[in-house]
Structure 1
Amino acid sequence: MKITFLGTGTSQGVPVIACDCEVCTSPDPHDKRLRSSIMIEEEGKVIVIDSGPDFRYQMLRAKVKHLDAIVFTHEHKDHIAGMDDIRAFNYRQEAAIDVYATERVQEALKREFAYIFAEFKYPGIPEINLHTITLKPFLVSGIKFIPIEVMHYKLPVLGFRIGDFTYITDAKTISEVEKQKIKGTKILVINALQIEKHISHFTFVEAIAFAKEIGAEKTYFTHISHRLGRHATILGLLPKNITLAYDGLVLEVN
C-alpha cells in the first residue's frame, strides 16, 4: 500500500496574506504546507482522505489521473471545501465517485454543496455515490477502514486505521476505548498543531506524549501550523522514531 501526503498543513493560525514569519518566508519546500490530506493507493485503487480547499492543486501536483473514493474525517471547511473538483474525475472516468461520511458530515455536504443534491441537476456538476459510515469497520474499494473516534474539542472526528497504518487529524482527546484500536499499529500519523496550548488540537508536546503512549515503530506529525516552527528546526527536537510529515512524502506500508 502506497501512502502519499497531499497536504500536511492547516488553516489554523495561518495568515492568508503578507506574513513575514520565518516559516512563511522559508525557502525550504518542507515548510510549504497545503491543507491536510492523504492519498492511498492499493492494487490500482485510489482513495483520498479529505478534500480541503487545496484539493484541485494537490491532485494536479501529484499527477493523479484516477480517483475511486473520498473518505471524510469531519465537516470543517479545511477538510471538505474542495469536493466540487471531483467533477474532473467524473468526466474522465464517466462515473460517479464514491464518498464515505457519517450522517452528520453528509448533512454538512448537503448544505455546502446543495446543487450536487438538487432534484434538478445542472449539467456538469459533481456526481457522487454517498455511503454512510459509523464507528463500525467498512470497506472502500476492497480496503478495510477501521474508524477511530477522537474529540476535536467537543466535535467527534474520525481517524482511520488501515492495516498497520493509522491516520488521525484534529484530535485533542482520545478515549481509552478508541486508543485500543490504534495500539499495535506500525505507522501512526497524528496532528501536532503548534507549541502553544490549543483548545481543540494536540500541541507539539501532547502529540509527542501520545506517540510515545501508542508506541508505533514510526510516527509522523501532520496538520501543522506555521506556529510550530520550521521543519528543519523541529526535526532536531524530536525522538528518533518521531518525525514531521511534509507535502509529497510517500510511504510504502505493508
Structure 2
Amino acid sequence: MNVYFLGTGTSQGIPVIGCSDPVCRSEDLRDKRLRVSVWIYDNDFSLVIDCGPDFRAQMLKSECSHIDALLFTHEHADHTAGLDDIRPFYFQQGDIPIFAHERVLKNLAKRFDYIFETENKYPGAPSVTAIKVEADQSFNIKKQLIVPINASHGNLQVFGYKIGKLAYLTDVKTIEDSEIEKIKGVEVLVINALRKETHATHFNLDEALAFIEKVNPGKTY
C-alpha cells in the first residue's frame, strides 16, 4: 500500500496570505504546505481522504488519475471545499462514492446542492453516491477494509480511519481509550501536532507525543 501526503498544512495553508512571519517568508520546501489530504492506493484500489481548497493542484501534482472513493474526516472547509473538482473523475468514472458521517453528508448536500441534485441537474456538474459512515461499523472499498476511528476536534466529532496497517487521524484533540485500542501497535500512524503551545481543538506537540506512546506504532508521521 502506498501513502502520498497531498497536504499537511494548517487550515489557511502555509504560507498564509499577507503573512510576514519568517516561516511564511521561508524558502524551505518544508514551510510550504497545502491543506490536509492524503491519497492511499495500491494495485487494485485508490482512495483520497478529504478534498480541501487545494484538491485540484494536489491531484495534478500527484498524477492521481482514478479514485474509487473519497472519504471525509469532517465538514470544515479546509477538508471539503474542493469537492467540485471531482468533476474530471466523474466524467471518466461516473458517480463518485463519498463516505462520511451523516452530519457531514448533510452539510455537503447543503453547500454543494447541485452535486447532490437528481432532477434538473446541470449537465456539467459532478454526481456522488453518498454513503453514511457509522462509528462502530467497518466497511470495504474494493477489497480493502476501512475501520472508522471516532475522535473529537474540540466539540466536533470527527473520524479517523484505519486502512490496513495505517491509522490516519487529523484534526484530533481528544480520543477515547476504546478507540485507541483499535489502532494499538499499528505499523504506521499519521497524527496531527499543530504547534508547541496548547490549542483548543488540535493536539499540540506534547499531546501528540503522549498519544504516540499510547498507540505504540512502528512509525509515526
TM-score for both structures, normalised by structure 1: 0.83
Q: How does 1:1-254 map to 2 (within 5 A)?
A: 1-11=1-11, 16-91=16-91, 93-118=92-117, 119-135=119-135, 136-220=137-221
Q: 1:139 to 1:207 in 2, by over 3 A?
A: same
Q: Which amino acid aligns with 1:104?
A: R
Distance in 1, matches of 2:186 and 2:47, equals: 20
- Indicate the percent of aligned positions where both proteins have the same amino acid: 49
* Matching residue of 1:239: none
Does the 8 Å contact 2:46/2:67 carry over to 1? Answer: yes
Any runs of at least 4 consecutive aligned residues in structure 1 with deviations exceeding 3 A, and if so which?
12-16
Distance in 2, matches of 1:105 and 1:215, equals: 30
Return the offset for 1:14: 6.0
Return the offset for 1:127: 1.5
Distance in 2, matches of 1:171 and 1:187, equals: 17
Distance in 1, matches of 2:93 and 2:158, equals: 32
Q: Which amino acid aligns with 2:88?
A: A
Does the 8 Å contact 1:183/1:216 carry over to 2? Answer: yes
Q: Which amino acid aligns with 2:165?
A: D
Structure with larger RCO (C-alpha < 8 A, sep 6+): 1
TM-score for both structures, normalised by structure 2: 0.95
Return the offset for 1:18: 2.1
Structure 2 gaps of 5+ residues are: none
Does the 8 Å contact 2:185/2:218 carry over to 1? Answer: no
Return the offset for 1:12: 5.8
Return the offset for 1:13: 8.7
Distance in 1, matches of 2:126 and 2:196, equals: 39
Does 125-134 or 77-86 show the bigger shift? 125-134
Q: Work out the number of aligned pairs and report it.
A: 219
Q: Which amino acid aligns with 1:62?
A: S
Does the 8 Å contact 2:14/2:33 carry over to 1? Answer: no
Q: 1:12 to 1:63 in 2, by over 3 A?
A: closer
Does the 8 Å contact 2:38/2:50 carry over to 1? Answer: yes
Q: Which amino acid aligns with 2:109?
A: K
Return the offset for 1:29: 1.1
Deviation per residue, 1:155-195 (Å, 9 max, x gap): 11000111211000011011011110110201100000111
